[in-house]
Structure 1
Amino acid sequence: MLKNRQLIININNRTQKVFLKFCCFYVLLFLLSCKQDASKNTMDSAETATETEVETTKSTSSKKIVFFGDSLTAGYGLEDVDDAFPGIIQNKIDALGLDYNIVNSGVSGETTSGGKNRIDWVLNEEPSVFILELGANDGLRGVPLDQSKANLQTIIDAVKTKYPETIIVLAGMQIPPNMGQDYTTAFKNMFPDLAKENNLHLVPFLLEDVGGIPDLNQSDGIHPTKAGHKILAKNVWEVLQPILK
């Protein structure tokens, strides 16, 4: 009887030891599994972070061309702002596979004074090319030309100071002789003078082959139609394309 009892005790002890070994084994497997999952998650997170970083780099790698202007740049009266000449130029850039994105910073009714006041905010775009298209509204309102020229110079100086490597293109403008021939002539000459003094690229007359042609302008006789904007884009592209290449 005692022998049988001792035998049962021995069996129970061996069973407990075996059971404990299995428990330890499974606990070890569990810990290893958790460690592998944690490592995998860490690797996955690292890979995801890397992929995100690459995608962010790609999305921000394009250089920017900022069009800084008035209603002509903004595409006043058009159904789609992409039909304005900056949008048409973006299509030309995309067709050539050039790494540039256009920022349309046109505001209808903008004067050189208004442009001077908002230039610091616009320069947050960090332009590689800056196209300055302002002054027409000054001319139509008879603003003294020394004021208009000083405002344009302030804008040019702001761009050059913050981004010395940025290429600046100045869009020339002309107005009807309503303000008198002297004013009209001085207004026209203001743009090439500024371009020469600051070593800028110049579009001689943005509205060349469009201004004064009824079929290419809206009913107000001032703002180009969609067809007119295609010609504006051509006028700007003749100067811009060699710069981008």
Structure 2
Amino acid sequence: MAQHIASVVLDSTDTIVLTIFSTMANVSIYSVYFLVISGLKQLFNATTNGVQALIGELYAKQEKIQLQKIFGWTEWLIHTMTTYVFGCAGILITPFVMVYTKGVNDANYNQPIFSVILIIAYAMYCIRLPYHIAIKAGVHYKETQRCYWIAAILNLSVSIIFVRELGLVGVAIGTLVAMIYQTIWMVIYDSKNIIYWPIRIFVKQILVDILTIVFGIIGTSSISISMYSYTEWVLMAIKLLVYQFLCIHIQNGY
């Protein structure tokens, strides 16, 4: 119950806070950007659905070596996919929204700062999936419910505090704070109670993720869109996807 209620709060807080404390124009802008985010979330949730049963079986049988092996592979895969998909999305989402809303003048849909913070927030949502899966596979619901409640309260309170001054950016910051807290808490809990996975591996993986994103941004800084047409956006996306793939391949090889 705690997990499900917290999940609903985390998914709904931004829209509710914007509706009550901000303008309907901001609700419209948020809805368009979240349309993209929602698709990415569904992609990652579908990718990890089959892993939970396997991790649960290994945990029940106490096959610790095999459990760590499977978990390590899952962690690497999710981190790599998140870096690739959300790294590209962070650059492509605003141009896509500008193309998608071309000719619509009810609000200013050019919100690069908001989009970047929201992308980082939901990248953290996806990065936390292996640790969330381990908690569900180990049936540690009661032991971890406090984490979910606190994350929901953090999201709601921080969003309300910042929305009046920062608008869309304020609710994105609230989501980011909640996701960072939840990810760090889950990593520590799993390391001590379920997987016994060294935290330094998570830290190393995060550093690799950051370096990959930084190199990707630097290398693609010259790629831009000027005409805001679907054709130009697709060409931009192809260039970016290829370059980001090369960055990830090099970083993981290193």
**TM-score between both structures, scaled by the size of structure 1:** 0.29
Kindly indicate which of the two structures has a greater share of residues assigned to helix: 2
Give the structure with the higher percent strand.
1
Larger Rg computed on CA atoms: 1
Higher relative contact order (CA 8 A, sep 6+): 2
TM-score (norm 2): 0.29
